[in-house]
Chains A and B, each alone.
Chain A
């Protein structure tokens, strides 16, 4: 399990991660958090995920339905809408393009010691 993620980096990609998770499997808030933790994102807190789900719902990218639960009140399950799937495709392409560019830069060899300016 990894820790010490850059919160700003995660925040930028959280919506995309949530859309992907919900496209894989319809889930309620805490279940999404558990699934994120299971893939290694232990630093993603509930206090970040719940408002992000609310934002996706307001933007019309996910829809929610109440499912009765044996362990308490009905739970709110989220799944992507058509707009959510479209955003997922676009977002994934953008993310892949960005990471390819960043990786290309970061894998260039650099001198082991700082070079002096001429």
Chain B
């Protein structure tokens, strides 16, 4: 006998579908959306057939299911993680900018603490290796600041950190596999 699906059942199904979707972010967008839609449709058919609770139970743990989908799509073995790379690449600049800004600000505050009506140009070398030279120009204690950008070393460290966090070198192995598999002319 077909089971009716209430709005609570719909919510439970959507929760499972979107939980899985969040765990499939390392897949290409089109593939992830296709899997989400297909899974939702299959769960709805199963829920009408056997009821929502058994249908969801027979799916198993969403973490394991996501892992199986990722293995099916990306192959066995260790994989890259776009989520980790984006998290690192997005969060670390905010933290670095905060600390570099605070360091430059501390230099300016030290000048005004010494002479509240300071006038002139003051140059600070910046945080070693990470920050370009910071130049303060004071007029009667009013400061304007230039410089303080990331150095090439800082940019390189950020890129390196992003690659390491996302294990992005693993992206090269499928390409290498495809090249090896391709017939030679």
**Contacts from A to B (Cβ < 8 Å):** 28-31, 33-34, 45-48, 50-52, 54-55, 58, 69, 71-76
Contacts and interface: CB of A to CB of B under 8 A. Distances in A.
B68 A47 contact: yes
A48 B68 contact: yes
Interface in B37-52: 37-42, 44-46, 48-49
- The listed residue with most A CB atoms (<10 A of its CB), out of B45, B49, B60, is B45
Given A28-B45, A47-B58, 8 more contacts: A47-B60, A47-B61, A47-B64, A48-B68, A50-B69, A58-B73, A71-B48, A76-B38
A50 B66 CA distance: 11
Nearest to B37: A73
B60 A54 contact: no
Contacts of B69: 50-51, 54
A28 B39 CA distance: 11
B59 A46 contact: yes
Nearest to B45: A30
By secondary structure, the A interface counts as helix
B33 interface: no
Nearest to B38: A76
25 contacts: A28-B42, A29-B38, A31-B45, A34-B49, A46-B59, A46-B60, A47-B58, A47-B65, A47-B68, A48-B68, A50-B42, A50-B65, A51-B65, A51-B68, A51-B69, A51-B72, A52-B72, A54-B35, A54-B72, A55-B71, A55-B72, A71-B45, A73-B41, A76-B34, A76-B38
A30 B60 contact: no
Contact of A72 (B44, B64, B68, B71): B44
B39 A50 contact: yes
Contacts, number: 65
A77 B148 CA distance: 58
Contacts of B45: 28, 30-31, 71-72, 75
Nearest to A31: B45
A61 B102 CA distance: 58
A58 to B, nearest CB: 6
A89 to B, nearest CB: 22
A55 B49 CA distance: 26
A74 B37 CA distance: 9
Contacts of B73: 54-55, 58
A74 B114 CA distance: 73
A48 B42 CA distance: 13
Interface string B60-98: 110011001101110000000000000000000000000
A45 B41 contact: no
B42 A45 contact: no
A69 B41 CA distance: 10
